[in-house]
């Protein structure tokens, strides 16, 4: 069994690598950020250490002829299952779209990083962290290029006064070639707020959509969130 200071060092390494992944998520204002990822990596590392070395104390306290059977992979398998619940909490449904899938996946990878560090596979954990950060940040421009080629999916937030009509909004969007995927409405009587999940065709900018809609005197506010 490694020395206690070596095990503590593993915990620190796991927390540091997990925190590095969390910083990227924090910078993009995701629901699970720096602290969450750090704790996931730290906890996974501790569980892995307990699984790999914690039962040596039990074995050492028994007689030499005693037979101890233990599945040291059981804790690791439970980490994989358990992290799914935490990842599910990072997934949020906005109208017809779902957000947080990437953050949930990063939590899953973070748990793997912590587990690897806990059992002493620090180099693989470091390599996985680097690859994960490249996937999260380095591939972002490629994702943007693919979205520009295929069109853009976003959420339009439109507020109208009591005289505003959804039909007018639909007509204006269809005239610009926007595909409506879903609509949520909040408010009653006076001002109404519509959250519209939409696919924009190539070459159509969200600012152009907003400018066109704001020509309607009954539309008070237009904003959008990139999906």
Q: List the chain domain ranges.
A: 4-138, 151-226
Q: Give pLDDT tens digits for 40-86.
A: 888 888 888 887 776 565 555 555 555 656 565 677 777 877 787 77
Give me the long-range contacts of 168-174 (CB less than 8 A, separation at least 24): 168/216, 168/218, 169/194, 169/196, 169/213, 169/216, 169/219, 172/212, 172/213, 172/216, 173/198, 173/209, 173/213
Inform me whether the pLDDT recorded for 151 exceeds 70.
Answer: no
Confidence bin at 96 (pLDDT 50/70/90):
very low
pTM score, whole prediction: 0.56
Tens of pLDDT, residue by residue over 202-217, are: 777 788 888 888 888 8
CATH code for the domain defined by 151-226: 3.30.70.260
């Amino acid at each position: 069994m490694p020395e206690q200071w070596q095990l503590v060092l593993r915990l620190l390494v796991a927390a540091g690598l997990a925190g590095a992944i969390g910083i990227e998520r924090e910078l993009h204002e995701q629901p699970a950020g720096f602290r969450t990822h750090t704790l996931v990596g730290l906890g996974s590392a501790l569980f892995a250490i307990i699984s790999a070395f914690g039962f040596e104390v039990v074995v050492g306290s028994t007689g030499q002829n005693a037979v101890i059977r233990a599945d040291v992979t059981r804790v690791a398998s439970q980490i994989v299952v358990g992290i799914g619940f935490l990842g599910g909490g990072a997934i949020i449904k906005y109208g017809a779209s779902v957000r947080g899938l990437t953050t949930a996946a990063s939590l899953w990878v973070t748990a793997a990083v912590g587990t690897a560090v806990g059992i002493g596979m620090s180099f693989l954990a470091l390599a996985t962290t680097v690859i994960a950060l490249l996937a999260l940040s380095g591939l972002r421009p490629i994702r943007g290029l693919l979205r520009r080629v295929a069109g853009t999916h976003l959420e339009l937030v439109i507020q109208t006064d009591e005289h505003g009509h959804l039909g007018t909004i639909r007509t204006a969007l269809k005239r610009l070639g926007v595909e409506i995927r879903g609509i949520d409405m909040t408010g009653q009587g006076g001002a109404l707020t519509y959250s519209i999940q939409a696919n924009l065709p190539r070459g159509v900018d969200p600012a152009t959509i907003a400018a066109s809609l704001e020509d309607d005197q009954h539309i008070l506010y237009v904003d959008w969130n990139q999906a």
